């Protein structure tokens, strides 16, 4: 199983499923992390903590704790 | 299917009218919704003429604002709802928006969208369209879109969605007349048909149809929305009761009789279909230029890079303080010349009019002098710092600060957005505390509230500047003398940040146990700041507001201090008695009685701490020549200040108890006496502890 955390900078990946729960899931859905959405990996931040993604045209930073819930193909 | 609920719904006794906006007969209520950071507040300000504070980061509008305007003889009440990405999530702000759009008595909803990020914004438009009877799509920031070579086919969108679409640039006023015209036309329409913009898959639509039949019998108003939410939400969203709306019990009954389960799966499907449609619309009606879109990314490659991110931030912070200090120097001197020159004249008039010396002392040497000090020391740095800070805010720098600092906050088990609240705290801690609402998790919000005071607000850093300039900027080089206070203030802010992180960590392990909650941060696009508006809001709104609050307190505080200094019992004045009472205790912390007293008197406003301190020193000392440049240094030295005293006063000012306005705000935000007391106790303990350590070290070394 490949998750968003594994994607490399510069890659554009497609969401297979969003396995987060409750409020995080709602928040990710609100930001457009829905099945089939395209996500571009823009940059890794300091200490490999945050990564910036382009999601639905916006730049969103996620921690690896969050991006690990997003299964990609 | 008849559930026998019709009778019950008419018996509803408790009504929710908090969302009913008071309006006159010929007034229309317009709700303004939108994603965070779409220029919604700018649209609101443009229409209503109110200068609500806006900034380039998500979550700025934490409370909905109300404003009014007239157009062609009709009056409109605008309600600015908190920015939200969606109406489904459990964040406080988004709940307010959802409940207002569901229960409020508005006539029309205007959804403000960011033209440079239409796909994401359309999701909210669709959600609002399921609730509001009339919707206008206002695509704002069209000038930013133009700069990025994004073009939007307005006619195409309008035709496809069958709602009015207006392209605007609220900051320049472009398209705003058309928006007003569209609002006028829409509210006048008699037809009140919901125009839900998204059709879902057959399975969902079939269920919606079945439930709608049932809801119709119960005279429920927003049947489609209610049916959809019965399918995809928990019954919590029906907690508020109002006639014509489903209540929680009814919703539970319907859910069980229809056998509705798996809300989360339905929600996911609905979100997916919403976004698929948004994506389709974007592909059909928006043309982009990928090269231009990547400009922000390129800037961010530097600003938020692993290597330069932190140094750039520190330099930026130091630079802001350096400009503030350098710029404030001359105006400060001019102001003090004028104000103290006037004091002399005022004094002369009082003598000529034969006013008793005691009254003259209270009015001039007490009230007026303190006021003059507050104005000349506090006004110039504020008037420079506020615009500079707003500039960074408008540019979109603050989310990058949060980005760069997140890993520290994560380690402290706190929320990454806490740094945004801290940035607001640099302006005013009360504002910072309110700003903590952008943090969803109650535990982390409390941590942010309790530690916000460690950021020196505008009432405090002029004190830091004044003392570090007087005491440490005494080298031969004037360039260095300009740099030293900036370094000191920056250092103080760093100490504040460090203590914030430490305190957050300790709280996370003791009183507020828990692990960091989830975190999503939008790096908003960089934008050209609006210089005119920055000057207006920061000088008129903030500076004058903050200063007048300080002045109102300075006058009585100055008068009382003078009285205390000049009423004698035995051969000692009350002030000297009080100060010497505190002196022994204060000395342990490298301070003195007068300093400690001034900080206590300064509870209503930190701005008056230094002026009161000087008042007290002047009234007991013999120094009368205070126009000279080294005046502050001379008074302080004469009263036994050492470098340790100076350092500890700065540290104490940075860390000590919050001002009364902040405490009151904390009480309001947390709703708890206990946490308000904690927010008073924690900084106070920190201030004494840190000062004790520095004082002990100093004694060991010297």
Cβ-based neighbour number of residue B375 at 10 Å: 21
Is residue B134 scored above 70 in pLDDT?
A: yes
In terms of CA atoms, which chain B residue is nearest residue A46?
A: B306
Is pLDDT above 70 for B13? no
Radius of gyration of chain B (CA): 29
How much is the pLDDT for B6? Answer: 35
Q: What angle do CA B456, B432, B556 make, to 5 degrees?
A: 60
Q: What is the ipTM of this complex?
A: 0.95
Please, which residues have CB within 8 angstroms of residue B63's CB and are 6 or more apart in sequence? B82, B434
Inform me whether the pLDDT recorded for B369 exceeds 80. Answer: yes
Model pLDDT, residue B587: 93
In chain A, what are the helix, strand and coil shares in percent, each to the nearest 5? 25, 40, 35
Residues B499/B656, Cβ–Cβ less than 8 Å: no
- Kindly indicate the confidence band of residue B473, based on its pLDDT and cuts at 50, 70 and 90: confident
CA distance B178 to chain A (A): 27
Q: Say what the pLDDT of residue B507 is.
A: 94
| CA–CA distance, B19 with B106 (Å, rounded to integer) | 9
Reported confidence tier of residue B9, pLDDT bands at 50, 70, 90:
very low
CB-based contact B310:B404 (threshold 8 Å)? yes
A18 in B contact zone (CB under 8 Å): yes
Supply the pLDDT for residue B64.
Answer: 64
Distance CA B113, CA B156 (A): 17
Q: How far is CA B493 from CA B239, B456, B483, in A?
A: 44, 7, 15
Which of B88, B272, B304 lies closest to A26 in CB terms?
B88
pLDDT digits (tens, 9 = 90+) for B491-542: 999 999 999 999 999 999 998 988 777 888 999 888 888 887 778 777 776 7
Quick one: angle between helices B609-620 and B631-638, nearest 10? 60
Lowest-pLDDT range of B146-150, B180-184, B613-617: B613-617
Whether A34 has its CB under 8 Å from any CB of chain B: the answer is yes
Inspect the interface and report whether the beta carbons of A61 and B403 lie closer than 8 Å: yes
* Torsion angle, alpha carbons of B360, B363, B368, B374, to 10: 130
pLDDT at residue number B620: 60
Say how far apart CA B575 and CA B326 lie, in whole Å.
35
What residue spans of chain A are helical by DSSP H?
22-30, 64-67
**Residue B616, strand partner residues:** none
Which of B117, B300, B518 comes nearest A58 by C-beta? B117
Q: Is B140 left (phi over 0), alpha (psi -120 to 50) or beta?
A: beta
Chain B residue with CA closest to A29: the answer is B271
Q: Cα separation of B380 and B343, whole Å?
A: 20
Residues with Cβ within 8 Å of residue B693, at least 6 apart in sequence: none
Cβ-contact A27, B441 below 8 angstroms = no
The 10s digit of each residue's pLDDT in B343-352 is: 889 989 999 9
User: Residue B273's pLDDT band (boundaries 50, 70, 90)?
Assistant: very high
Give percent of chain B with pLDDT exceeding 90.
42
E-assigned strand segments in B143-205 = 151-152, 165-167
Cross-chain Cβ contact B310/A46 below 8 Å: yes
What is the rounded distance in angstroms from the CA atom of residue B433 to the CA atom of residue B430?
5
Interchain CB distance below 8 Å, A63 and B116: no
The structure's pTM equals 0.85
- Residue B15: band (very low, low, confident or very high) from pLDDT cuts 50, 70, 90: very low
As a whole number, the mean pLDDT across chain B is: 86
B368/B240 Cα distance (integer angstroms): 53
Which residues in chain A are contacts of B420 at CB distance < 8 A?
none
Average pLDDT for chain A: 91
**Looking at CA atoms only, how far is residue B45 from chain A in angstroms?**
25
Q: Where are the extended beta strands (E) located within B158-309?
A: 165-167, 286-287
Nearest to A46 among B296, B301, B306 (CB): B306
- b/e map of B447-466 (b: 16 or more CB within 10 Å)? bbbbbbbbbbbbbbbbbbbb
What pLDDT was estimated at residue B477? 82
- According to the per-residue pLDDT averaged within each range, which of B108-117, B196-205, B304-313 is highest? B108-117
Angstrom distance (rounded) from CA B388 to CA B317: 10
Tokens in use for B619? 């009234």
CB contact under 8 A, B296 and A59: yes
Contact in structure between B627 and B452 (CB atoms under 8 Å): no
Q: Which ranges constitute the DSSP H helices of B288-378?
A: 290-293, 295-303, 309-352, 357-360, 369-373
Question: Quick one: pLDDT at residue B58?
Answer: 53
B574 versus B91: the higher-pLDDT residue is: B574
* Chains A & B: contacts with CB separation below 8 Å: 128
Mutate to test the interface with B, among A51, A55, A58, A71 (most CBs of B within 10 A): A58
Helix axes B461-471, B379-395, angle to 10 degrees: 120
Per-residue pLDDT of chain A (73 residues; tens, 9 = 90+): 899 999 999 999 999 999 988 788 988 999 999 999 999 999 888 877 899 999 999 999 999 889 999 999 8
Q: What is the pLDDT of residues B23-67, one digit of tens each?
A: 777 889 999 999 988 988 889 989 988 655 555 555 455 456 788
Q: Is B336 helix (H, G, I), strand (E, B) or coil?
A: helix
């Amino acid at each position: 199983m490949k998750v968003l955390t594994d994607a490399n900078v510069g890659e554009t990946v497609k969401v297979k499923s969003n396995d987060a729960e409750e409020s995080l899931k709602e928040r990710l859905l609100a930001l457009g992390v829905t099945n089939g959405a395209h996500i571009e990996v823009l940059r890794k931040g300091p200490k490999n903590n945050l990564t910036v993604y382009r999601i639905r045209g916006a730049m969103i930073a996620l921690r690896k704790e969050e991006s690990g819930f997003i299964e990609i193909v | 299917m008849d559930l026998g609920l019709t009778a019950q719904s008419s018996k509803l006794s408790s009504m929710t009218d908090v969302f009913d906006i008071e309006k006159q007969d010929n007034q229309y209520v317009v709700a303004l919704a939108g994603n965070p950071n779409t220029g919604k507040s700018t649209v609101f300000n443009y229409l209503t003429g109110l200068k609500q504070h806006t900034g380039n980061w998500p979550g700025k509008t934490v409370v909905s604002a109300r404003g009014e305007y007239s157009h062609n003889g009709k009056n409109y009440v605008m309600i600015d709802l908190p920015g939200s990405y969606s109406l489904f999530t459990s964040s406080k702000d988004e709940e307010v928006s959802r409940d207002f759009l569901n229960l409020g008595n508005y006539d029309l909803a205007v959804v403000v969208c960011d033209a440079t990020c239409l796909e994401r914004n359309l999701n909210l438009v669709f959600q609002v369209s399921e609730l509001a009877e009339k919707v206008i799509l206002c695509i704002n920031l069209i000038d930013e879109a133009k700069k990025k070579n994004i073009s939007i086919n307005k006619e195409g969108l309008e035709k496809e969605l069958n709602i009015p679409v207006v392209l605007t640039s609220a900051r320049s006023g472009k398209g705003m007349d058309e928006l007003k015209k569209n609002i006028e036309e829409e509210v006048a329409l008699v037809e009140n048909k919901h125009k839900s913009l998204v059709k879902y898959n057959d399975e969902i639509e079939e269920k919606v149809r079945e439930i709608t039949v049932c809801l119709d019998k119960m005279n429920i108003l927003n049947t489609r929305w209610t049916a959809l939410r019965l399918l995809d939400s928990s019954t919590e969203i029906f907690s508020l009761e109002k006639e014509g709306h489903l209540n929680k019990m009814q919703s539970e009954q319907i859910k069980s009789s229809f056998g509705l389960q798996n809300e989360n799966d339905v929600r996911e499907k609905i979100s997916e279909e919403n976004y698929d449609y948004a994506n389709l619309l974007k592909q059909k009606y928006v043309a982009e230029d990928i090269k231009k879109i990547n400009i922000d990314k390129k800037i961010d490659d530097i600003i938020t890079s692993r290597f330069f991110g932190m140094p750039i931030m520190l330099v930026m912070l130091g630079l802001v303080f350096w400009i503030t200090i350098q710029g404030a120097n001359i105006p400060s001197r001019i102001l003090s010349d004028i104000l103290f020159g006037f004091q002399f004249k005022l004094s002369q008039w009082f003598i000529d009019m034969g006013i008793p010396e005691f009254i003259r002392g209270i009015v001039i040497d007490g009230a007026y002098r303190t006021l003059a000090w507050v104005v000349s020391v506090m006004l110039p740095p504020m008037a420079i710092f506020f615009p500079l800070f707003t500039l960074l805010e408008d540019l979109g720098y603050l989310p990058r600060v949060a980005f760069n600092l997140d890993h520290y906050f994560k380690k402290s088990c706190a929320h990454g957005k806490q740094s945004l609240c801290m940035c607001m705290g640099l302006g005013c801690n009360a504002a910072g505390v309110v700003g903590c609402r952008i943090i969803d998790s109650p535990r982390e919000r409390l941590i942010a509230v309790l530690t916000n005071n460690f950021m020196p607000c505008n009432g405090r850093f002029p004190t830091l500047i004044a003392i570090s300039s007087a005491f440490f900027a005494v080298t031969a080089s004037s360039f260095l003398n300009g740099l030293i206070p900036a370094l000191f203030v920056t250092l103080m802010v760093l100490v504040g940040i460090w203590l914030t992180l430490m305190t957050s960590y300790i709280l996370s392990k003791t009183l507020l146990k828990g692990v960091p909650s989830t975190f999503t941060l939008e790096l908003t696009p960089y934008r050209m700041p609006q210089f005119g508006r920055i000057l207006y809001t920061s000088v008129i709104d903030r500076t004058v507001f903050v200063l007048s609050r300080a002045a109102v307190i300075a006058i009585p505080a100055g008068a009382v201090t003078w009285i205390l200094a000049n009423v004698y019992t035995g051969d000692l004045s009350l002030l000297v008695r009080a100060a010497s009472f505190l002196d022994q205790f204060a000395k342990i912390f490298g301070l003195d009685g007068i300093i400690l007293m001034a900080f206590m008197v300064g509870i209503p406003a930190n701005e008056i701490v230094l002026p009161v301190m000087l008042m007290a020193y002047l009234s007991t000392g013999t120094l009368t020549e205070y126009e000279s440049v080294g005046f502050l240094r001379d008074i302080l030295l004469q009263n036994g200040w050492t470098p340790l005293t100076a350092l500890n006063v700065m540290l104490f000012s940075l860390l000590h108890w919050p001002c009364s306005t902040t405490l009151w705000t904390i009480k309001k935000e947390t709703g708890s006496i206990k946490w308000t007391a904690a927010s008073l106790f924690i900084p106070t303990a920190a201030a004494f502890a840190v000062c004790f350590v520095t004082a002990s070290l100093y004694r060991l070394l010297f």
